[in-house]
Amino acid sequence: MPVNILMPALSPTMEKGNLAKWLKKEGDAVKAGDVIAEIETDKATMEYESIDDGVLAKIVVPEGSQDVPVNQLIAVLAQEGEDPKTAASAASAAAAAGKGAAQAKAPAAPAAKLEQRPEPAARPAAVPASALSAHGATHGANRIFASPLARRLAKTAGIELSRIRGSGPHSRIIARDVEAARSGQGLAPAAAASFALPVPSDDKIRALFEPGSYDVVPHDNIRKVIARRLVEAKLTIPHFYLTLDCNIGKLLAAREEINAAAPKDKDGKPTYKLSVNDFVIKALALALQRVPDANATWTESGMLKHHRSDIGVAVSIPGGLITPVVRHAEAKSLSIISNEMKDFAARARARKLKPEEYQGGSSAVSNLGMYGIKDFAAVINPPHATILAVGAGEERAIVRDGKIEAAWIMSVTLSTDHRAVDGALGAQLLGAFKALIENPVTMVV
């Protein structure tokens, strides 16, 4: 049988992808491990490898195509002994007969012929702007995505579908979700389920402005996902904010001394150059170890207490941002963290990060100090329970022993998920961070 090549889901938030480039053309022989295409996800451009031998019989979706739905047929591979022309003809007939419908009914087994990165069992609930509903798979004000069996079970049990959290693809409600709801798990309060905020339509917004006084720039995938996740975070996470000032005089002196002593590579360049942000990442990682109750993630069934400090770091990229994760940051040296972040930033801007490099993590850092921002409050990036917003270090007047003197001060604001980290616990975490960042020598002992 020919192998149907489908658009893969290469990240938890991916619903559509752009087929950036075909690296093989029709009639080319393909071996297992060959990269056959480059696909743009909502976060990065990724290579798509074949794990089977054959001939690329038919390219169904041409390169350059945008917003191709996940699981849509994009090409057909003829296996050994098969006639590529016959396989191509079959693919053309199927596409002409039903396009998306025919592709949706493609057998599941052939789809597994190409390597795809595993997806989590349940995706984060998406919150479309049209409904702003945090529960179920609501696409539009009154439509909820659920399987027929789930609808029958919910009706029999007398449970409103809008109160059930879906765990199927794209948060679709399936039978097991209804069974869980019957036992009281994954069931939203009725008041929360009925909450909906009216959103003006595009036409109503545009009517407020004179025609011809603006340009319409279509949203790309990454901007759509960022917008959706920000709405989700602010609607479903009770944010709580704590701010304090840190004296970074010792840190700046230590940074200058460490950088001056950095060994040189064969080209005479320093093997590392520490930034203030590298110290921030390390200090937050160690603070989470000192206050382990804050190193947590909220779930409806229980609190996840993390053993490691995996710190996400917000990196600005064209059209949005991405948060690569420094794993085991508490155990890494400052020089390793520094070089790892430089690599992450370069590959993030080239959209070459792998999903496992920006998914997960137990907390995050967002630093706008390089733009001169004094202080700000960052939006929590699920599944994190905390995020540290870092402002610019600047020379300010302080009072010490009754005298006014100058000191280098940096303001930081901790945003917490109040369900997981309450005020007192957040204050302990921020206090531990302040103690470390103001005495950087304690980070290396």
Length of the chain: 445
* DSSP SS3 for 357: helix
Contact present, 361 and 314 (Cβ < 8 Å): no
pLDDT digits (tens, 9 = 90+) for 179-203: 777 766 665 554 444 445 567 888 8
Average pLDDT, the chain: 82
With bands split at pLDDT 50, 70 and 90, how would you rate the model's confidence at 96?
Answer: low
Q: Is 135 a catalytic residue?
A: no
Contact present, 151 and 157 (Cβ < 8 Å): no
Q: How far is Cα 443 from Cα 329, in angstroms, rounded to an integer?
A: 11
Q: How far is Cα 173 from Cα 154, in angstroms, rounded to an integer?
A: 10
Helices and strands, number each (H, E), in the chain: 13, 18
Which is the catalytic residue, given 139, 170, 239, 418? 418
Calculate Rg over the CA atoms of the chain. 26
With bands split at pLDDT 50, 70 and 90, how would you rate the model's confidence at 51?
Answer: low
With bands split at pLDDT 50, 70 and 90, how would you rate the model's confidence at 7?
Answer: confident
> Cβ contacts of residue 37 below 8 Å, gap of 6+?
19, 20, 21, 22, 23, 24, 47, 48, 63, 74, 75
pLDDT digits (tens, 9 = 90+) for 23-34: 988 888 888 778
Instruction: Quote the longest CA-to-CA distance of the chain.
Output: 89
DSSP state of 125: P
E-strand stretches of 238-362: 239-247, 296-298, 303-305, 311-313, 315-317, 320-322, 325-326
Q: Hey, what are 82's tokens?
A: 């098969």
User: Which residue in 331, 338, 336 sits closest to 444, CA to CA?
Assistant: 331
Identify the bridge partners of residue 364 per DSSP, sorted by sequence position: 312
Q: How far is Cα 441 from Cα 333, in angstroms, rounded to an integer?
A: 12
Cis peptide before 218 (omega within 30 of 0): no
User: Which residue in 387, 195, 188 sits closest to 300, CA to CA?
Assistant: 188
156 vs 265, residue with greater confidence: 265
* DSSP SS3 for 80: coil
Contact present, 384 and 312 (Cβ < 8 Å): yes
With bands split at pLDDT 50, 70 and 90, how would you rate the model's confidence at 6?
Answer: confident
pLDDT digits (tens, 9 = 90+) for 137-183: 444 444 577 787 788 788 777 787 877 878 776 677 888 888 777 76
Q: How far is Cα 133 from Cα 68, in angstroms, rounded to an integer?
A: 25
pLDDT for 118: 38
What are the φ/ψ torsions at residue 433 (nearest 5 degrees)? -60, -45
User: Residue 44: pLDDT above 80?
Assistant: no
* DSSP SS3 for 19: strand
Contact present, 359 and 12 (Cβ < 8 Å): yes
H/E stretch holding 410: strand 403-417
pLDDT for 167: 78
pLDDT digits (tens, 9 = 90+) for 281-323: 999 999 999 999 999 999 988 999 999 999 999 999 887 889 9
CA distances from 346 to 225, 292, 339 (A): 21, 32, 11
Torsion of CA 360, 365, 370, 372, to 10 degrees: 130
Q: How far is Cα 285 from Cα 278, in angstroms, rounded to an integer?
A: 11
E-strand stretches of 195-306: 239-247, 296-298, 303-305
